[in-house]
Structure 1
Amino acid sequence: MLHSHRFLTGALFSLMASTVLAAPSAVPPQSLKPLLETLNERLNIGDLVALTKWDSGKPIQDSPREAQVIANARTLATQYTLDPEEVAQLIAAQMEANKLVQYGLLAQWQVTGAAPDTPRPDLGQQIRPRLDELQSRLLQQYAAFAAHRRDADCPVWLATARSGLAVDRLHELALVRATGELCVRAAR
């Protein structure tokens, strides 16, 4: 009897401890979900960019375009009362995550010898304007979330909110990269 009581007490304690450790101590801000959805939408556009790169044979790395996007983001940062350097880091993380998707997809297609047979929008006329529109929305949502970046629960909120957003393991990894700049740990 004593043994079963200890077992039940131990099991109950383990269950409570795992629940406490798994759940954030505070409710995530409402601004997190739309921000992550926009980041995920931006990542999914990487699939279309990869298709255009496959067809054209152009390299994924486009340093002049990346510099232009970051410069534009720094300028827009002031409209949202954001630190231009933090915004540059956020946008650079988005581009790195997007390239991760592109490299992953191109590698898959090289193995099979073909890319999916889906419509290819024009990179300059359709995809880039969409990315520019998403950047404005992203900065607005980032501004709404910015006050929560240093919250001790931010990493837990982020991990929980990211769960289930990505379509596959490649996009999940890229989403981790895209959100790597969102939470700021306090210096110890």
Structure 2
Amino acid sequence: MLSSCLPRPSRLGFAALALLSLLTACTSTRHPPEALAPLLGDIEQRLALATPVALSKWDSGQPVEDRPRERQVIDRAAERAREWQVDPAWARQLFADQIEASKISQHASLDAWKRQGQAPQTPRLNLATQIRPALDDLQERMLQDMAHFAPYRADGACRQWLADRQRQVQGDASYLQAWHQATASLCAR
């Protein structure tokens, strides 16, 4: 009986409602989702660990590249991704990007120290007992954050969110290059 009191929607009314829904959906994606901030924070923390890694490699004379360790990190990320319902291929790519970003930063630091003839006189962290466990913990957090961010990867505004964030990033050219590499696969292509 109440339904007989309500006006029947016209085609124009449906069109207006559809347009309003579409505009609401478009404007809601202008701002990055809350799920992006923790993932970017983890990426930036991981990048910050590149300096202690570089210091360890400076002291030990080890090369920046460690293919067996890189494969281990990437394989473990893909394996653990399934548990977080994250696409293992995306996990492989994102962690490969993290490793490449770290190498960019490490090479930049090592090159600067070579030019200066010395590395900074700062306390050193042990690569095996301190840095790698920290990286492993970050990997687990990143997988969790990837699971939360995954629904937004294909959003048309995703690349803009990263561009907006990159404008806020502080650092020299090598850090910005590393940051760009580390975030290269956050958005779906």
User: If the TM-score is normalised by the length of the shorter chain, which range does it land in?
Assistant: 0.7 to 0.9
Question: Residue 161 of structure 1 is aligned with which of 133, 147, 165?
Answer: 165
Flag the 1:146–1:104 CA change in 2: closer, same or farther, 3 A: same
Greater Rg over alpha carbons, structure = 2
List runs of 5+ in structure 2 lacking aligned partners.
1-27
* DSSP 3-state at the match of 1:136: helix
Q: TM-score, normalised by structure 2?
A: 0.82
Q: Distance in 2 between matches of 1:50 and 1:60?
A: 7
Q: TM-score, normalised by structure 1?
A: 0.83
Q: Counterpart in 2 of 1:110?
A: 114
Q: Distance in 1 between matches of 2:154 and 2:29?
A: 15
Paired amino acid for 1:93: D
- Displacement of 1:176: 0.5
Verify the 8 A CA contact 1:39 1:178 in the aligned structure 2.
yes
Verify the 8 A CA contact 2:29 2:155 in the aligned structure 1.
no
Deviation digits for residues 108-166 of structure 1, max 9, x if unmatched? 01111011000011000000000000000011111111111111110000111233334
| 1:14-93 matches, cutoff 5 A | 26-93=30-97
Paired amino acid for 1:96: E
Q: Counterpart in 1 of 2:25?
A: none
Q: Distance in 2 between matches of 1:166 and 1:67?
A: 30
Verify the 8 A CA contact 1:26 1:153 in the aligned structure 2.
yes
* DSSP 3-state at the match of 1:28: coil
Q: Counterpart in 1 of 2:13?
A: none
Q: Distance in 2 between matches of 1:182 and 1:156?
A: 12
Q: Counterpart in 2 of 1:123?
A: 127
Flag the 1:137–1:182 CA change in 2: closer, same or farther, 3 A: same
Greater alpha carbon shift after TM alignment, 168-177 vs 152-161: 168-177
- Displacement of 1:82: 1.1
Paired amino acid for 1:76: R
Whether 2:175 is the aligned partner of 1:171: answer yes
Q: Distance in 1 between matches of 2:55 and 2:120?
A: 8
Paired amino acid for 1:179: T
Q: Distance in 2 between matches of 1:152 and 1:109?
A: 41
Q: Distance in 2 between matches of 1:121 and 1:89?
A: 28
